[in-house]
Amino acid sequence: MAERRARAIGAFSGGLDGIVAARLLAEIGVDVSLATFSSPFFQAGPGRLGAEQLGLPWREIDMTAVLMGILADPPSGFGSNMNPCIDCHAAMLAILGRLLPAEGFDFVFTGEVLGQRPMSQNRHSLVRVARLSGLGDRLLRPLSAKLLEPVLPEREGLVDRSLLLGISGRGRSPQISFARERGLSYPQSGGGCLLTDPGYSRRLRVLMDGELLSPRSARLIRFGRVFALPGGAVGVLGRDEADNNELEALSEGRFLRLRDRPGPSAVLLGDPSAAPVLAGLVAFHAKLPTGSTALVLEGEDAEHAVTVPAPGDVRPLLVCIEEP
Ligand code: SF4
């Protein structure tokens, strides 16, 4: 081993594999720092908790702008939903790669396991991501290192390859044993990226088809029911008080609501001429009688007098009833 202590930064979602990878490197003498990425589609909270447990330095990196660009045209395509995993992952690692010279890190690491995910963690994808990110062999996967070609920090003796692991496949017994032996807790489920969720992905596709994708619209469709309106507009309508509060907070002051009684709040994205249709949906979901007239406010300065639509007119507009 080299006398100098190696310095590494890890892409860390806070899941079991990342916890094991970070702890393993720390135990074998690497100076470990962690970074968790955030965007409208995934949050940094689990990463922060995991880093606190490990007692390691941690930072959040907002990659919203980068991810918006990738979603518009992912060079490596989408996974089974709207998840551009190869390019998203490569972008994360490229961001960390820029920190190597800037902050004196020797390499980047991840908790990836060879063969754990058939599309994004097969041998070909691991090599491809290393190349696309620009990291090349400054990218170490400690959990599967013994099954992969030695990378630069191993060859230079900064990390002792014999102390790394040779885990592959979907089973998680070795990682669970590692964590239990050290009294480490870990979240039961995966990272919770909305881009892998079928219902959210359908909503997102409607936004993109209407050229309405933005950080704000991506956040808005996390709440309530989503409707495809005439002219490519999209309406988002709260199902309960919690949804209404979230939508109003994201509405920039321009949400629709009944003038004279409680009911759902709604936000219009796109063509303003679709507002009366969304106003009708607000009245419908307030359970007003079909065919009656309702007054719906839009922001501070607009009011729509609308006829409450029939169920048969409402259902075709609903994009997806699956919850994100
Ligand atoms: S699951 Fe989501 S956050 Fe993870 S690589 Fe895929 S798109 Fe990116």
SS3 string, 213-263, reads CCHHHHHHCCCCEEEECHHHCEEEECCCHHHHHHHHHHCCCCCEEECCCCC
Q: Which of 283, 285, 272, 288 is nearest to 306 (CA)?
A: 283
Which protein residue's CA is at the shortest distance from atom 2 of ligand 1?
193
Closest atom of ligand 1 to 194 CA is 2
Do 247 and 142 reside in the same domain of the chain? no
The pLDDT, as a whole number, for residue 216 is 96
Do 118 and 243 reside in the same domain of the chain? no
Taking the centre of ligand 1 as the mean of its atom positions, its distance from the CA of residue 10, in whole angstroms, is 16
pLDDT profile of the chain (324 residues), mean per 10: 83 97 98 98 96 98 97 94 95 98 97 85 90 96 97 96 95 95 88 89 93 96 93 94 96 94 95 96 96 95 94 88 51
The pLDDT, as a whole number, for residue 324 is 44
The number of distinct structural domains making up the chain is 2
**Residue pLDDT, tens place only, 162-191:** 999 999 999 999 999 999 999 999 998 756
3-state secondary structure 12-52: CCCCHHHHHHHHHHHHCCCEEEEEEEEECCECCHHHHHHHH
State the Cα–Cα distance between residues 159 and 164, nearest whole angstrom.
Answer: 9
The pLDDT, as a whole number, for residue 299 is 92
State the Cα–Cα distance between residues 7 and 30, nearest whole angstrom.
Answer: 6
The pLDDT, as a whole number, for residue 192 is 84
Asked whether residue 324 is assigned to any structural domain, the reply reads: no
Q: Which of 60, 46, 56 is nearest to 16 (CA)?
A: 46
Do 40 and 96 reside in the same domain of the chain? yes
Do 201 and 177 reside in the same domain of the chain? no
> What is residue 10's DSSP assignment?
E
**Quick one: tokens of 122?**
């097969």
Do 41 and 174 reside in the same domain of the chain? yes
DSSP strand pairing (234-237 vs 266-269): antiparallel
> What is residue 286's DSSP assignment?
T
Q: Decide: pTM greater than 0.85.
A: yes
Residues 92 and 70: beta-carbon distance below 8 Å: no
Do 150 and 11 reside in the same domain of the chain? yes
Asked whether residue 306 is assigned to any structural domain, the reply reads: yes
The pLDDT, as a whole number, for residue 188 is 84
Closest atom of ligand 1 to 89 CA is 5
Do 119 and 228 reside in the same domain of the chain? no
The pLDDT, as a whole number, for residue 205 is 94
Provide the β-strand partners of residue 227.
235, 318
Taking the centre of ligand 1 as the mean of its atom positions, its distance from the CA of residue 79, in whole angstroms, is 10
Q: Which of 58, 141, 124, 130 is nearest to 92 (CA)?
A: 130
DSSP letters along 83-152, please? --HHHHHHHHHHHHHHHHHHHT--EEE----BTSSTTTSSHHHHHHHHHHTT-GGGEE-TTTGGGS---H
What's the sign of the alpha-carbon dihedral 191, 127, 161, 33?
negative
**Residue pLDDT, tens place only, 35-87:** 999 999 999 999 999 999 999 999 999 999 999 999 999 999 999 999 999 99
Closest atom of ligand 1 to 37 CA is 3
DSSP strand pairing (234-237 vs 225-228): antiparallel
Mutate to test the pocket of ligand 1, among 12, 38, 89, 110 (most ligand atoms within 8 A of CB): 89
Taking the centre of ligand 1 as the mean of its atom positions, its distance from the CA of residue 202, in whole angstroms, is 16
The pLDDT, as a whole number, for residue 130 is 95
Taking the centre of ligand 1 as the mean of its atom positions, its distance from the CA of residue 242, in whole angstroms, is 27
> What is residue 158's DSSP assignment?
S
Out of 151, 181, 211, pick the residue that ends a domain.
181
Which distant-in-sequence residues (6+ apart) come within 8 Å of 175 by Cβ?
A: 16, 17, 20, 113, 143, 167
Asked whether residue 285 is assigned to any structural domain, the reply reads: yes
Which protein residue's CA is at the shortest distance from atom 1 of ligand 1?
193
Do 45 and 83 reside in the same domain of the chain? yes
Which protein residue's CA is at the shortest distance from atom 3 of ligand 1?
193
Closest atom of ligand 1 to 83 CA is 7
Asked whether residue 37 is assigned to any structural domain, the reply reads: yes
Taking the centre of ligand 1 as the mean of its atom positions, its distance from the CA of residue 13, in whole angstroms, is 10
CB under 6 Å to ligand 1: residues?
42, 83-85, 88-89, 193, 195-196
Instruction: Give the range of the structural domain holding residue 296, as residue numbers without chain letter.
Output: 197-317
Out of 181, 213, 235, pick the residue that ends a domain.
181
CATH number (domain holding residue 119) = 3.40.50.620
Do 24 and 171 reside in the same domain of the chain? yes
Asked whether residue 186 is assigned to any structural domain, the reply reads: no
Asked whether residue 141 is assigned to any structural domain, the reply reads: yes
Taking the centre of ligand 1 as the mean of its atom positions, its distance from the CA of residue 64, in whole angstroms, is 12
